[in-house]
Every structure is written in C-alpha cells, then in structure tokens.
Chain A
Amino acid sequence: MTTEVASAALHPPLVRQRVRRRVTLEHVVMGGAIVCLIVLVVLPLLSLLLGSVRGPEGMSLDHFSEVLTGRLYLNALKNSLILGAWTGLFSLIIGLTLAWAVSRTDVPWKPLLQLTATVSYLSPPFLTAIAFTYLFSPNAGLINVLMRDVLGLTWLTFNIFSMAGLVLVTVMHTFPFVYLLASSALQSVDASYEEAAQILGASKLRTAISITGPLVAPAILSGTLLAFVNAIALFGSQAIIGLPARIVTLPTRIYALFDYPPEYGLASALSLVFVLITIVALYLQRAFLARRSYVTLAGKGSRPQLMQLGAFRWVLLGFAIGIFIVSIVAPYSTLIAVSFSKSWGLDFWKGLTLANYKFILFEYNVTQRAILNSLMLATAASTIAVLLGAVIGWIDLRTLIPGRKLLDYFALIPLGLPGIVVAVALIQFWLAMPVALYGTLAILLLAYVGRYIPLSVRAANASLRQVDPSLEESAQILGASWLTTMREITLPLIRPGLFAGWLLVFVPVIQELSASILLFSSSSITLAVAVYNLYETGYFEPVAALAMINMVIIGAAIWLAHWFGGRSLTARTEAAPVNV
C-alpha cells in the first residue's frame, strides 16, 4: 500500500509534540468565554445585590423595608401577581385545549392550530398590545366606535385599558408555552400505557383521568408556570395597556423609579423581589418538569390514540379559529390597515397612503437610526451569543475543567431575570466602572447577549450532544489540532443547531423592549423603543408602519436562518449513526 512519494510526507515530524499542560489556543478561547460570562451575568448581578443594600451611610436594609411596606410597591406587586395568575389560567385553558385537539383528536385543520401557536409565540407582545388599542381604546378604538356610534350596541364595547384588556393581550403571547409543552407531552405518552388500562376495563374517561392525566400533568403545570413568568416580565404591554388604566406593575414601577432623580437603591431592591418571584416559579417549573422524565423515556415512536369527536370537532375548530382571529388576524390586519391609513378611524379606507412608510424610512432620522441600530445589535448579539454558547456548551460537555457545571448554571441565570431587571443590574454595574458605557450601543449589546445567552447555550448544548465525542477524537488522532478539529468537524456538525440558536436570539432581540427602555439614548435608540416612543407621543399611523418593518425583519431572519442552516445537512447528520 505504499506510494514512495507519499511515505515521507506521512509521518509528522516530532516537533508536533507538545505537552498538554502548556497554554494553548484552546485554553485562551475557553478562558475568554468564562470571563465574558462573568462580565455579562455574574458581576452585574452582584452589583444589583450590592446596590440594594447600600444606604446613604453604609449597609442597610432600608430599601427592602420600603419596597416591602410602601403602598406603591405592594400595589405593583399585587397587580403583577394578579396579572400573572389570570394569564397563567387562560394560557392553561387555551394552550391545553389546542394541544389536546392537535395531538389527541381528529379535529380538522391541524396545521392552522399549530400555526396559531407558533406565530403568536413569535409576535412581539407590545405590537399586539398596540394593535388592540387601535381596536378597543375606549373613545377612538375602531370596534368600540363601530358598536357604540354606528350600531348602537353600547354593551358590546370593551375598554382595553383594564386588567381584562391587559390579560387578553398578554395571554395571546403566553398560551404557546403551555401549548408547546403540553403537546409534546401528549405526543410522547406511549399509546400502550393507555391501551393497557383499557384492556383492563377502564373507560376512555377513566383512562384519561388516571393514566394520561398524571403522566402529562407535570409538563402542563410547567408550561403554565413559564407562561406566568413570561407574562409578568413583559414591560411593553404593561406600559401600553396598564399605565393608561392606572394599573402599575413591577416592571412599570421599576421604570418609574428611574424618573429624575433616579432611585437606584429602591430599583435594585424591587428588582430583587421581582427576581425572587420569577426564580420561585422557575424552580417549581423545573421540579415539575423533572418528574416528567418517565414520559419521554418510554415514548419513542408511539402512536397516540386519536379521539373521534364527531360533531364536537367543529366546535373545537371554532374555538381554535376564534383564537387564531384574536391572536393573529385581528392584530396583524389592524397594524397593516393602520400603517396604510392617513388617519385611523371608521373610514380609514378612504385615505390609503404610503406616507407612513416614507416617513419612517426616509424622512424621520430617529426611526432610520432605530432600524439600523436594531439590525446591527441583533446581528452582533446573536452571533456573539451563539459563539459564546458554543464554547460554553463545549466546555461543559467536552472538558473536565473543575467548575464547568457552575459555568453552565451561570449561563442559565438570565432565564430568571426579567428584561428590566437586567437593565437595572447593568446600569448599577457600569455606572460604577470607569468606562462610560451607559447610553451607548455597547451596553445594549451586553444586555442582549447576557439576557439571551441561555437560549444559545441550550441550542449549542443540544446540538453538541448529538455529536459523539469520537467524531472529534478521530480527527485528533489523525493529527488535527484543536482549531482544525473545531473548524473541520465540530462546527460543521453543529452548524444547523447554531443557526437555530442564532435565530432564537435574533428574534427576541429585534423586538426587545423591557431592557432597552432603560438603557437607550437618543443615539442608541432601537426599533422597539422607537415604536414605544412614537406611540407614547401619539404618532399612531407611523407606529404601525414601523411595527410592520419589525415584523418583516423577523420574517426575513427566520427565512435566512433556514436557508443557511442547510436542511440537507440536518437530514444527513440525523441519518448517520452518530449516536450509537
């Protein structure tokens, strides 16, 4: 088998020898990732803690005692909990119904139901809120005007500026959490569990109550808690709907504490109370989800029984279409209609125009800057987050570095931090630093990467798990250095997962409002902040145009990530016996 030319080149010179313990590129990259994570997450959190106990003279718990006794703060806490509870309940009802319909019944048009959940999840919640104010604001809302002034049906009017309105727009964003977890659980319960109960004589109802129910309950509860956590953290809808209704919640109260003069200590203390609620809920959620493991273990290739609903399936479909209309058709068609109107009202169709788009794209430099800033920030943040996530996932799964699990936990912490709390923590930290970051694009970038690092770490982790270490080791033994192995083997193999992670970060960043609202300056204004500010100042029609631009960017990002991610590669990777 020897070719004479070849043999000489084959044996690597002994110079390649190097000792493992020397500092190598591998160590530099890993060290860099660890430092990044500490600066992004750990240090800001520590300064939030410090800020909350720093009084005028030395340490004190004054801020906490004021936050826990002051009427303003208790009221905000109460409102947040009420909002979270109602949202959780309705998310449970809607999400579970749709999940059950899709996974366990013969309801028609299942793709429509799935589409409803996906699009609702991806829609920026503050845009839904704005769209609903166009329809249901008490005086000028289109439907209210129609009912009251044209049809004379005053009892059919609805005031969006109320707790009910706030719950409505929030639920449209949060029910997909229950839907996603419940449908995956319902689909993974092996049909044989249910068949075993039925052969023993259990009726369908009895089987559902005593077998299926307990098996999927943890996932459903877990989804409900996620809905709760996400609901109370949404600054946008709570500012847009809640503030006119004088319903102040935790995010809007924290926001108010930054009115001049800013109350950093109180904001920190209130943020920590907020974090505590979130963390308790997330802890319960993980505990519930952990109990679910026995479902997924058994459930590969199962074929769940589909219930024959008869005529009732049309009722179920009607319910689903209702959700589809409220959560997607109504807000989107409203935003489209408003964006092309000269002035929004009952006869808006008489004056259709492109002026709003022209205004925000070509005439108004604030919105131009906002669009550019957001595009740059989202691209940079998702790229950095994905690379950082890949390295952190790699450290966790492929090395024996002590403390790597701790690193993994650090990377998950931001899941428990509402956006506005991230902003408060970053402000506290960077104001104390000698670098002037406040009000720059850089601090927004730090906020976005820090806030969404859990998503990219999870995506990288999941795809690295699919790559058996032996694939890397076999490159290594052939003589490939760490960098070559990464470039030739690991990165190409996890590329689809990284693109998915990139998208997972890009989409929320392009619509991020909760943290941006405290961190922006006139030069670093972002898309979502511009929408909010325009809305606050009453430029209703341009707002809708800007909202549409936002949606177009999100759609383009999804398409791009799909295109680059390469589906053929995914298929090939899955088919090969990578995970024997």
Chain B
Amino acid sequence: MAGISIKGLSKSFGRRETSFAAVADLDLEIKDNQFVTLLGPSGCGKTTTLRLIAGYIIPDRGTIEVGGRMLSSPSAVVPPEGRGMGMVFQNYAVWPHKNVFENVVFGLKLRRMPAAAARKKVEETLALVNLSGLEARYPNELSGGQQQRVALARSLVVEPDILLLDEPLSNLDAKLRERMRSELKELQRRTGITFVYVTHDQAEALALSDHVAVMDGGRLQQYGTPFEVYSRPANRMVADFMGLVNLVPGTIRAVNNGSGTVELAPDFAVEVAALDGFQPGESVDVAIRPENIRLAAPGASSAGKLAKIANHVFLGNISEYYVALSSGPVLRVQTHPLQHFEVGESVALEMDATQCSVFRRASGDAKPV
C-alpha cells in the first residue's frame, strides 16, 4: 500500500522580490506498484517535486500523502528519515569512505538487523543488481555503472515501498544507459516497488514508465500513459517536448459534433477529430509528428497536397525530408530510407488526420503565413 497522493502542492524559492515558483498547484495520484516518470526540461520543477516527496523540502502549500498517511503539509513534515523511502541520486552518492558492503548494509544497521541476517540480505541484494563478489571494493575502484548499482542496492536492501530516482542514468554512457534502463524496468516489475523517476530524457520516460507526468514551469502539463502523452499531447509544450513535431498554422473552417475541418492552405485542409470547444474562424496550430506524414510521387495519391522537397537528410534507419508547401510552411517528414526523392522534386504530401492535434494560437505567437 504505497500510493502517493499529491494535492495542490506548491513551493517557491528565493526572496520575496526574486522568488519563483518551482512547483505550482501540483495534483498527482501515483498508484501502488507503478513506474511513474516526472518528465520535463531543466527547471520544470521535477526534481523539486521529487525532493518534496522525499521530505527534504517543506511545501509552501498543499499536501503529500502516502498510503493514507500524511507526510508533508506546510505545518508538519515527516523528515526523510521517517518516511521509509529509498532514493537514488543523479551522482549516485555512494559514500566514498565505505566499501560496497558497508554502503549497502548501512540501512539495515539503522534498523538494527542482526549481523548474520543483514549479511545475507546484502548478498541477496547485491546479486539482484549483479554486483556479487564486489563487497570489499571501495567506490573509487568501481565503474560508473557499478556505483549506480551500489546506489540501487543500498536503496533496495531496506525494501522501501517507494523508490525515488533522480536522473539516475544521466551520468552513464549511451550503451550502459540503455542496459541499465531495461534492468531498472525489470527490477521494478520483480520487486513491485513504486518507482518515481525523474528525467529530462523523453525516450527514457517513454521506454520505462507506466505513467508519465510532463511538467513545465512548475506546473503539470499532462499525466498519462506514454502512448497518450506522445500521441495525444495536451498542449503545445507537451507536443514539442515529447519528440519532433511540425506546427502548421491554420484556420478552423467548420466544427461539427466535436470534429471538423482545419484549413492549412487555400486548397489544403485536414479533417480532425478532436475539435471540442473550437469556433469556426479561429487561428490554430496543427501539430503532426514527422512519421505521420506520407510522401508519394505526384498523381499516385489523389488526396495529397502538392509540395516541393527543400532538403534531404539521410539518417540510416530513416530519411528526413524538409518539404515546402506552396503557401510557405516547411514540414519535416520522416520516411523509410528506401523511399527516395530529389531535392527540388514535387511530391504529394498526405497527413494522417487521426494523428493531428490542434492547439489554439496565443495572440503572441502568430506567425506570418
């Protein structure tokens, strides 16, 4: 029973004049046994949120409950040492003056576990993270990945209900990162511990999480499954942050029962499903990911809009084309590498309308079309 319930959480830093809200009005329900990622650019408040959950920071407003037990509120905060959580830090924070065994056994000693049982428990946990046999090593004799595992083992050995991870993979090289990623996922499944994972890497978030909480400017932007936040971004920020996206300016032409038509160019319109609350005549941006646009030779597809290839980048597993509409906008398109067009060639461009998201254009960011 270790669901986390966050309500109206706010925290500001700095003095009154220069203060900024690191976290503002955050509501988040994290269910038991879940792998939840807090995702966002640096300064979005994700680490502050994690440290609020851990109890290192006292909230200005709002509450944090775990399994029905009130842990944080502006008037009373259970300190980190009373929360029974685990935390893995970005820099591992493996104590350099203790060897691997001493690092891992620390939490068990605090819990006054008999030495023999503790030794057994440490051995089991080290086996779990593939570190058996390295008990006597000091951190400076370990690689980055091994230190990472020591930090993990140290947190796991006390069997916390909740494990907090603050960008734990960001200091590893790309290959190791990928391996640790799948190990983490596997570990979470096996132990059933609730993982709260902070990262700025959207690929990591998509690969690992049951649920992703996208944050920006201290506020929760969207909370959903990886598929939801990727394919149905709630707003422009989420669409942009979750991967490559084309934002094409357009105008609402008709709205009917929540679906309708958006005109992107004088003779180019898409039928979009989710248009609840929009009015005909409104200026909008249509967001579409590069892999959801198809290119074909002109004439091969009747639905396509004629456009011109402006640039081509070959990336190995995919080809990227920059395609200019006659009305001006240039779209980024990803195709199979075997599909080939010359720069300057005319192509028929077709957008998958089911994968389009429509965002109202704020008055400030209207671009000349």
Q: Interface residues, chain A, CB within 8 Å of chain B?
A: 1-3, 5-7, 9-12, 14, 16-21, 468, 470-471, 473-481, 484, 488-489, 492-493, 569, 572-573, 575-580
Contacts and interface: CB of A to CB of B under 8 A. Distances in A.
B84 A11 contact: yes
A468 B93 contact: yes
Interface string B37-69: 000000000000000001110100000000001
A291 to B, nearest CB: 26
Contacts of A7: 159
Contacts of B117: 3, 5-6, 9
20 contacts: A5-B114, A6-B118, A10-B108, A12-B111, A14-B69, A16-B82, A20-B77, A471-B95, A473-B54, A476-B79, A477-B54, A478-B154, A479-B81, A479-B107, A480-B81, A480-B110, A484-B110, A573-B97, A579-B91, A580-B171
B60 to A, nearest CB: 13
Interface of B: 54-56, 58, 69, 75-87, 89-97, 106-108, 110-114, 117-118, 120-121, 124-125, 128, 138-140, 144, 147, 151, 154-156, 158-159, 164, 171, 190-191
Nearest to A15: B82
Contacts of A471: 93, 95
Given A475-B106, A577-B92, A481 B81 contact: yes
Contacts of B112: 9
A474 B151 contact: yes
Contacts of A16: 81-82
B78 A478 contact: no
B311 to A, nearest CB: 37
Contact of A12 (B69, B84, B124): B84
Given A10-B159, A492-B97, A578-B96, A19 B81 contact: no
A7 B140 CA distance: 31
A489 B102 CA distance: 12
A11 B158 CA distance: 8
B82 A12 contact: yes
Contacts of A5: 114, 117
Nearest to B163: A477
A347 B93 CA distance: 67
Given A19-B77, A580-B171, A473 B110 contact: no
B58 A576 contact: no
Given A6-B117, A477-B54, A573-B96, A19 B139 contact: no
A3 B120 CA distance: 8
B80 A577 contact: no
Nearest to B77: A20
Contact of A576 (B94, B128, B190): B94
Contacts of A14: 69
B144 A577 contact: yes
A555 B65 CA distance: 59
Given A6-B117, A470-B90, A471-B95, 8 more contacts: A14-B69, A20-B77, A471-B93, A477-B54, A477-B87, A478-B81, A493-B96, A578-B91
Given A1-B125, A6-B121, A17-B78, A489 B156 contact: no
B344 to A, nearest CB: 45
Contacts of A11: 84, 159
A560 B154 CA distance: 35
A19 B91 CA distance: 29
A470 B154 CA distance: 14
B128 A478 contact: no
Given A1-B128, A478-B86, A577-B147, A473 B121 contact: no
B55 to A, nearest CB: 8
Q: Which 7 A-B pairs have the closest CB atoms?
A: A576-B96, A575-B140, A580-B91, A478-B107, A470-B93, A470-B89, A476-B80
A478 B120 contact: no
Contact of A9 (B69, B95, B111, B156): B111
A572 B82 contact: no
- Most chain B beta-carbon neighbours within 10 Å: one of A21, A470, A474, A572: A474
Contact of A17 (B82, B86, B164): B82
A181 B191 CA distance: 56
A9 B191 CA distance: 18
A384 B76 CA distance: 35
Contacts of A2: 159
B237 to A, nearest CB: 29
Contact of A478 (B56, B77, B97, B158): B158
B138 A476 contact: no
Contacts of A477: 54-55, 80-81, 83, 85-87, 155, 164
B77 A479 contact: no
Contacts of A489: 95
Contact of B110 (A6, A21, A478, A492): A478
Nearest to B110: A479
Contact of A18 (B78, B87, B91, B111): B78
Contacts of B164: 477
Contact of A474 (B75, B113, B154): B154
Contacts of B80: 473, 476-477
A396 B367 CA distance: 49
B197 to A, nearest CB: 15
B96 A1 contact: no
A470 B91 contact: yes
Contacts of A493: 95-97
Contacts of A12: 82, 84, 111
Contact of A479 (B111, B118, B121, B124): B111
A1 to B, nearest CB: 5
B349 to A, nearest CB: 46
